[in-house]
Amino acid sequence: MDKRIALVTGASRGIGAAIATVLAQDGFDLWLNYRSNHEAAERVKNEIEQTNAQCRLLPFDVSDSEATLSVLDPLIEKETPYVLVNNAGFTRDMLMIWMNQNDWKDVLSVTLDGFFQVTRAVIKGMLTKRRGRIINIVSTSGQSGMAGQVNYSAAKAGLIGATKALAAEVAKRNVLVNAVSPGFIETEMIKDIPKEKVLPMIPMQRFGTPEEVAAAVRFLCSDQASYITGQIIAVNGGVYM
């Protein structure tokens, strides 16, 4: 069997970098997407190559349809990833009353247009080959709703709906679609949140690590997860049950 490829979006740092690293350890070659942090992406690539996996850096903005297709189309003509992890995401937090239309649109676009464009590019090949795993990184905010994050909560709730609908569409072709829903994970994304206010809300009384999220993704990409589809797996220390 040809070597399996995993495409991970937003993988230059944080949770995406941790996911790419464990998938390389599991024998996948990586297509590693990110937007602009070339130095950080090079560091992840070097780490991945130490595991004897190959790593191709694919810088593009997932919310930009032309940029996405100009990078992915030529690759997909030749090879189909076995795994796609839609991880790219960002926040622009503020109360709804202060939120302008760009704050709303940009957060929705990276999460939802990004999911649509990247997934649509690879899914035809997965369906033809009758194999594939798609994992969408959502958030507790999309399950419980979070004050100050109306845009982000809407985006992630939308991605949960898309996960379930797509899972139902493609299950009969052995393409499995699930979501992993992190709580508060120690990355740059949460560097500005007031820790002393948040920690008491978390039953486990600590933040999670990118590696703890990556472990759930790793399982969903493994042969052991062959009968799991349409599910939302929470990795959140009990903050939402």
36-32-12-62 Cα dihedral, nearest 10 degrees: 50
Cα–Cα distance, 236 to 109 (Å, whole number):
25
Of 34, 82, 152, 240, which one is the catalytic site residue? 152
Q: Counting contacts by CB under 6 A, is residue 136 touching ligand NAP?
A: no
Q: Which residues are 234's β-sheet partners?
A: 181
Q: Which of 14, 81, 132, 237 binds ligand NAP (CB under 6 A)?
A: 14
The answer to whether the beta carbons of residues 73 and 121 sit under 8 Å apart is yes
Residue 237 interacts with ligand NAP (CB under 6 A): yes or no: no
Query: Does residue 61 belong to the site contacting ligand NAP (CB under 6 A)?
Result: yes
Identified binder of ligand NAP from the candidate list 34, 82, 115, 240, rule CB under 6 A? 34
Residue 152 annotated as catalytic: yes
Q: Taking CB under 6 A as the rule, does residue 182 contact ligand NAP?
A: yes
What's the closest the beta carbon of residue 36 comes to ligand NAP, in angstroms?
Answer: 4
Edge-first strand order for the sheet with 132-137 is 55-59, 29-34, 5-8, 83-86, 132-137, 175-182, 232-235
- Interaction between residue 110 and ligand NAP (CB under 6 A): yes
Any contact of residue 81 with ligand NAP (CB under 6 A)?
Answer: no
- H or E stretch at 104: helix 101-108
229 in contact with ligand NAP (CB under 6 A): no
Per CB under 6 A, 143 contacts ligand NAP: no
Please report how many Cα atoms fall inside a 13 Å half-sphere around the Cα of residue 134, on the Cβ side.
34
> Is the CB of 189 or the CB of 215 nearer to ligand NAP?
189
184 forms part of the interface with ligand NAP (CB under 6 A): yes
SS3 state at 202: coil
Cα separation of 166 and 215, whole Å?
A: 23
Residues 39 and 128: their CA atoms lie apart, in Å, by: 36
Nearer to ligand NAP, 40 or 127 (CB): 40
- Shortest Cβ 142–ligand NAP spacing (Å): 8
Q: Is 149 a binder of ligand NAP (CB under 6 A)? A: no
**CA within 13 Å, CB half, 151:** 23
Task: State yes or no: residue 90 binds ligand NAP (CB under 6 A).
Answer: yes
List the catalytic residues: 152
Q: Which residues bind ligand NAP (CB under 6 A)?
A: 9-16, 33-37, 61-63, 87-90, 110, 137, 139, 182, 184-185, 187-190
